[in-house]
């Protein structure tokens, strides 16, 4: 019998129940027992669903109230010293303080840093390591949730982040050591956790080691050998499923195959070519888990692609040494497409090609049954298998326009130094100009207004009139506190990608296809199924209205082509580069129309630029080439006096700073406050040529930093950047914050900029 398993399930809730429960708890509107009950209810529902779908080994401990890496940090007792005064608080309060910061009861503690989970839009909380770091088993969450699942009659498989990947996901917070060298200190606590699970009755445990699919140095290779030898010796009865994903093993194949584990999981959606190499390398003792169902996209599996892979492995290994699974955790896709496809309005081009988390598990079970010679189809699948891709209707005009792009379209005609002088003459900005990233708080009233419009309870005219009132209030507020470059607040926008996707041909939106981005933050990614083209101007009316209210410059606010691509579920019948170029041309048209409407500053956000970078170094040049071309194609059609901004956040940029500079944005605003301006260390070796606004406060934390704290961060920035090219701004947009904290924090930020001007 070929067995099935799942690497992880979405945890936010099909109706975002966890988001609601967490935010009520944070706002003081519910109790800790209420939150814990909500989590328990969701876990139970998710386990039952997976069992119903035919999964033999159902994951547990994949649930998290905020982030699975933070869960491991708490479990291993790697809590930064600054949280010591919360040691007696309930564990979940300490946990949330680490994620979100803490500012009450006389305490003011900054949050831990947050960054992207490999090449996804999920964000994790970065572990912090000191030279004298110690570890101890500090949480039994994994064992407790294992017991919960067992009590429901589920066959649970605990999921843990592997010890080597856990260290590599973190950061050294002082010089003089390498975090990978902490492996010998980490392993006793890690092994104690595994022993606890074994004593609780666990037969299997999934240990996620995604770094095995990345470039490794000698120290990491040695750490892998040492760690898994010790784990095998300490808990020999535990069957370890070693999970790799997001890339192929490549040069790490021999290493992975040699580790003393029960099974090795491969991502055959991202890297199908690795199967033959692994089959040739694995010893007879090793079981193989085939990740043949794509856990990162929303298209059905193509049996012409998946079944030959399974057949090849089956021929070599036999049924007893084979597991079938999704390619990775299903955290990255929505819950269930059945309610979506049953509703009206699904484009004919998509047809019956969609599969969300539930359908993907049904596919896993069906693939295993078919490979074993049984006939079992996923629920609702017709007799004729459909390929796992949309059937798009092409737009010849779009393709012809992409084909007509020439090198001159990809560059500004004048170098930055000359443009800067022209722009300064036009804009008359002070030293250390201040701005925000774009959005202001999305209040419950605004969300209700948008819902009323969607439901037809109010008309477009009434809706727009209300939005314009919000814009006018935002403009007056910014003028009052002294912001130099204003924004209109984006009150009309549901999400920075969804808003544009809804206005682009070739895109479709679900009603409830939510995916977790970080904590309680969820997004509803567009589904790009065809050629992309702008139907009409998307932002010009409200941007021009905002500019008409003030003599100060107002930024036109757009989302960049790479971010729209990365934060969408993308058609898989053509290279991603082609889709990105189509989006870039649509954004270029919008930039041109904003400039014609009198906007002198235009921001094209690219927070996902780093996220799209291939995980292997040898693959990166091609991506950086076409991604940079797409940004420049979108932005290079303006006059010299028009100032182009971009924004990037919550990713590691140090290793690609030259490529960021090559985008040639006049101003880049970038997240740096959680890392205390650590990013700017890159400028010791690289002279960044254009202007930069390193964020001076963390908008994902409810705490309001002091003026002195912001001034200190700016003075650190001045060690690396000339004062004539330094901007002052928050880390990111303010849509998730409330108005009281937004007003207080921005007023403090303006005071910090004025303080710095006085010191020059």
Active site (catalytic) residues: 700
Alpha-carbon distance 610 to 614, whole Å? 9
Residue 395 DSSP SS3: coil
Confirm if 432 and 723 have CB atoms less than 8 A apart.
yes
Alpha-carbon distance 47 to 458, whole Å? 41
Closest of 270, 577, 284 to residue 405, by C-alpha: 577
Between the CA of residue 646 and those of 25, 121, 671, 693, what are the distances in Å? 35, 18, 12, 10
User: Which runs of E-coded beta strand occur in 568-663?
Assistant: 569-570, 601-605, 643-648
First to last CA, the chain: 75
Rg (C-alpha) for the chain, rounded Å, is 26
H helix count then E strand count, the chain: 25, 24
Residue 704 DSSP SS3: coil
Residue 82 — φ and ψ, nearest 5°?
Answer: -65, -15
Instruction: Give the residue carrying structure tokens 């195959």.
Output: 257
Between the CA of residue 70 and those of 132, 150, 319, what are the distances in Å? 20, 25, 37
Q: What is the layout of strands, in order, in the sheet containing 691-694?
A: 555-559, 601-605, 643-648, 667-670, 691-694
Closest of 676, 654, 656, 731 to residue 173, by C-alpha: 676
Confirm if 665 and 646 have CB atoms less than 8 A apart.
yes
Alpha-carbon distance 605 to 445, whole Å? 26
Confirm if 336 and 357 have CB atoms less than 8 A apart.
yes
Tokens at 216, concatenated: 């490794």
Between the CA of residue 155 and those of 242, 358, 404, what are the distances in Å? 18, 18, 57
**Parallel/antiparallel/unpaired status of strands 667-670 and 691-694:** parallel
Between the CA of residue 551 and those of 300, 385, 491, 545, 753, what are the distances in Å? 53, 61, 21, 12, 21
Confirm if 676 and 709 have CB atoms less than 8 A apart.
no
Residues facing 157 on adjacent strands: 59
Counting every residue, how long is the chain? 760
Tokens at 420, concatenated: 């800067």
**What is the Cβ-side half-sphere exposure of residue 421, based on CA atoms within 13 angstroms?**
4
Alpha-carbon distance 100 to 478, whole Å? 26
Confirm if 695 and 673 have CB atoms less than 8 A apart.
yes
Alpha-carbon distance 240 to 262, whole Å? 5
Give the DSSP per-residue string, 19-59. Answer: HHHHHHHHTTSS-HHHHHHHHHHHHHHHHHHHHHTT-SBEE
Calculate helix-pair angle for 620-635, 576-596, nearest 10 degrees.
Answer: 20
Non-local CB neighbours of 465 within 8 Å, separated by 6+ positions: none
What are all long-range contacts of 29-33, with beta carbons under 8 Å and residues at least 24 apart?
Answer: 32/90, 32/92, 32/93
């Amino acid at each position: 019998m070929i067995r099935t398993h799942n690497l992880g399930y979405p945890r936010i809730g099909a109706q975002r129940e966890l988001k609601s429960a967490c935010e009520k708890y944070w706002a003081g509107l519910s109790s800790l027992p209420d939150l814990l009950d909500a989590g328990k209810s969701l876990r139970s529902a998710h386990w039952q669903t997976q069992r119903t779908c035919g999964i033999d080994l159902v994951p547990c401990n994949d649930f998290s109230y905020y982030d699975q890496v933070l869960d491991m940090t708490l479990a291993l007792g790697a809590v930064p010293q600054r949280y010591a005064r919360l040691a007696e608080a309930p564990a979940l309060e300490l946990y949330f303080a680490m994620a979100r910061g803490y500012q009450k009861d006389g305490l003011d503690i900054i949050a831990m840093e947050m960054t992207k989970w490999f090449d996804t839009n999920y964000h994790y909380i970065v572990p912090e390591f000191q030279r004298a770091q110690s570890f101890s088993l500090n949480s039994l969450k994994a064992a407790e949730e294992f017991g919960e699942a067992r009590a429901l009659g589920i066959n649970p498989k605990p999921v843990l982040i592997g010890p080597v990947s856990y260290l590599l996901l973190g950061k050294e917070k002082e010089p003089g050591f390498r975090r990978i060298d902490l492996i010998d200190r980490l392993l006793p606590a890690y092994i104690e956790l595994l022993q606890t699970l074994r004593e609780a009755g666990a037969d299997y445990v999934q240990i996620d080691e995604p770094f095995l699919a990345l470039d490794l140095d000698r120290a990491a290779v040695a750490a892998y050998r040492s760690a898994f030898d010790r784990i095998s010796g300490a808990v020999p009865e535990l069957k370890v499923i070693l999970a790799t994903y997001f890339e192929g093993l490549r040069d790490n194949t021999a290493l992975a195959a040699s580790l003393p584990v029960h099974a090795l999981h491969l991502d055959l959606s991202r890297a199908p070519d690795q199967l033959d190499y692994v089959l040739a390398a694995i010893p007879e003792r090793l079981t193989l888990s085939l990740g043949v169902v794509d856990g990162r996209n929303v298209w059905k599996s193509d049996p012409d692609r998946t079944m030959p892979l399974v057949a090849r492995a089956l021929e070599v290994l036999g049924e007893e040494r084979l597991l079938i699974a999704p390619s990775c955790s299903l955290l990255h896709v929505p819950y269930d497409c059945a309610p979506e496809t049953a509703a009206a309005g699904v484009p004919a081009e998509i047809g019956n090609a969609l599969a969300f988390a539930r359908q993907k598990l049904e596919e896993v079970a069906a693939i295993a049954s078919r490979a074993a010679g049984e006939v079992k189809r996923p629920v609702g699948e017709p007799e004729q298998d459909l390929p796992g891709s949309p059937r798009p209707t092409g737009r010849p005009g779009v393709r012809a326009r992409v084909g007509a792009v020439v090198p001159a379209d990809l560059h500004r005609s004048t170098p930055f130094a000359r443009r800067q002088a022209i722009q300064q003459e036009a804009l008359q900005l002070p030293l250390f100009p201040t701005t925000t990233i774009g959005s202001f708080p999305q209040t419950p009233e605004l969300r209700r207004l948008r819902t009323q419009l969607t439901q037809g309870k109010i008309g477009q005219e009434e809706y727009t009139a209300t939005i314009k009132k919000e814009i006018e209030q935002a403009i007056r507020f910014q003028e009052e506190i002294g912001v130099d470059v204003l924004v209109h607040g984006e009150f009309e926008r549901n999400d920075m990608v969804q808003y544009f996707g809804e206005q682009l041909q070739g895109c479709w939106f679900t009603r409830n296809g939510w995916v977790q981005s970080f904590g309680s933050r969820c997004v509803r990614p567009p589904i790009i199924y065809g050629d992309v083209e702008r139907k009409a101007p998307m932002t010009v009316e409200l941007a021009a209205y905002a500019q008409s209210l003030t003599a100060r410059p107002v930024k036109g606010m757009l989302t960049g082509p790479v971010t729209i691509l990365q934060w969408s579920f993308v058609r898989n019948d053509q290279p991603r580069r082609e889709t990105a170029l189509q989006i870039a041309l649509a954004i270029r048209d919008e930039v041109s129309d904003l400039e014609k409407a009198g906007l002198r500053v235009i921001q094209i956000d690219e927070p996902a630029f780093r996220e799209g970078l291939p995980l292997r170094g040898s693959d990166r040049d091609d991506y950086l080439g076409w991604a940079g071309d797409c940004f420049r194609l979108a932005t290079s059609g303006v006059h010299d006096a028009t100032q182009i901004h971009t924004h990037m956040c919550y990713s590691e940029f140090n290793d690609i700073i030259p490529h960021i500079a090559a985008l040639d944005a006049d101003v880049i605003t970038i997240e740096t406050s959680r890392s205390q301006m650590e990013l700017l260390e890159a400028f010791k070796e690289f002279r960044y040529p254009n202007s930069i606004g390193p964020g001076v406060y963390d908008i994902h934390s409810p705490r309001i930093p002091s003026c002195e704290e912001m001034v200190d961060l700016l003075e650190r920035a001045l060690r690396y950047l000339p004062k004539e090219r330094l901007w002052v701004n928050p880390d990111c947009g303010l849509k998730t914050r409330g108005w009281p904290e937004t007003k207080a924090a921005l007023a403090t930020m303006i005071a910090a900029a004025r303080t710095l001007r006085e010191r020059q």
